[in-house]
A = this chain, B = another copy of it.
Amino acid sequence: MCIGLDVDIDKIPKHLLKEEDPVFAFNKAIIDATHHLTVAYKPNLAFYEAQGIKGFQALRKTIDYLNENYPEIFTIADAKRGDIGNTSGMYAKAFFDDLKFDSVTVAPYMGKDSVEPFLKYENKHTILLALTSNEGAFDFQTKNVEGEELYKMVLKTSKNWVNGQNLMYVVGATKAEYLQQIREIIPESFLLVPGVGAQGGSLKEVCEYGMNRKVGLLINASRAVIYASEGEDFAEAAATAAKKLQQEMAGYL
């Protein structure tokens, strides 16, 4: 399990607004209450950027808090970056060197030289978008490109990039039935699976079609866990929701 920290200041419990940094206070409480139930946290950059400099400070405090207190936990910057080589190099620097995330999500549209600057960090992980959880995935990702769907071409092509074997991929849980075919192309790769919960994806199907002999799945839950309660008991409620999901996952293992 991965817990998505998509923290919207308008959705956190009201009593936290009196804190100096409400978003960090929220994240810290959620992390302290759930760290024993999860293997990863995934802050969604957009939610922090929307808060300007305060958001950036909350993000930095959150990742520093995780690295200092729970160094064994895997951290994902859900940023979906991607640009020409020298620019992607700057994004890699931002997420890997400066913020010290373990991994970052990257968009494939601009191809090899837009992704390799991330892959060059051999002790970090690059998580490439393949088949996303939203409706718009059907606009281009599932279209037929030279005999196969675009997302399959992305999977096959990217395997051949520098350190391509280290790539992880985003595959949305709302399209669990595609996982069988995806596993034929990348049997060993780790998949980050969003879309279980609020977006309607089925955990059972994801496990059935997506698991490999090393499990190979990092299933993300965001809203269903972090907003389990709007009251002062939000952290306990998040732990309860996470525990329920974790037990459900354990049942499939």
Q: Given A140-B153, A146-B143, is A109 in contact with B134 using a C-beta cutoff of 8 Å?
A: no
Nearest residue in B to A154 (C-beta to C-beta)?
A: B140
What is the distance, in angstroms, from A93's C-beta to the closest C-beta of chain B?
Answer: 4
The answer to whether A113 has its CB under 8 Å from any CB of chain B is yes
Alpha-carbon distance between A242 and B51 when the two chains are bound, in angstroms: 35
**Among A15-23, A67-75, A83-91, A209-217, which stretch is in contact with chain B?**
A83-91
Q: For A1, what are the chain B residues with a Cβ–Cβ distance below 8 Å?
A: none
- CB within 8 Å for A108 and B109 given contacts A53-B57, A139-B157: yes
Of B97, B111, B134, which is within 8 A of A136 by CB? Answer: B111
The listed residue with most B CB atoms (<10 A of its CB), out of A107, A139, A145, A150, is A139
**Interface segment, A31-39, A42-50, A243-251?**
A42-50
Is A49 a contact of B94 with CB atoms below 8 Å?
A: yes
B146/A146 in contact, CB under 8 A: no
Contact with B along A108-124 (1 / 0, CB 8 A): 11111111000000000
Between A108, A140, A199, the greatest number of chain B beta carbons within 10 A of the residue's beta carbon is seen for A140
Beyond A94-B46, A94-B50, A150-B145, whether A111 also contacts B134 by CB under 8 A is yes
Interface residue A132 (Cβ < 8 Å from any Cβ of B): yes
**Cβ of A52: which chain B residues have Cβ within 8 Å of it?**
60, 94, 98-99
A132 to B84, CA, bound (A): 8
A93 to B69, CA, bound (A): 32
Taking the complex as formed, is A181 at the interface, i.e. its CB lies under 8 A from any CB of chain B?
Answer: no
Chain A residues within CB distance 8 Å of chain B: 6, 8, 44, 46-47, 49-53, 56-57, 60, 78, 80-85, 87-88, 90-91, 93-94, 97-99, 107-115, 129, 132-141, 143-146, 150, 153-154, 157, 194, 199
The 7 closest A-B pairs by CB, nearest first: A111-B136, A111-B139, A46-B90, A49-B94, A50-B90, A84-B134, A50-B93
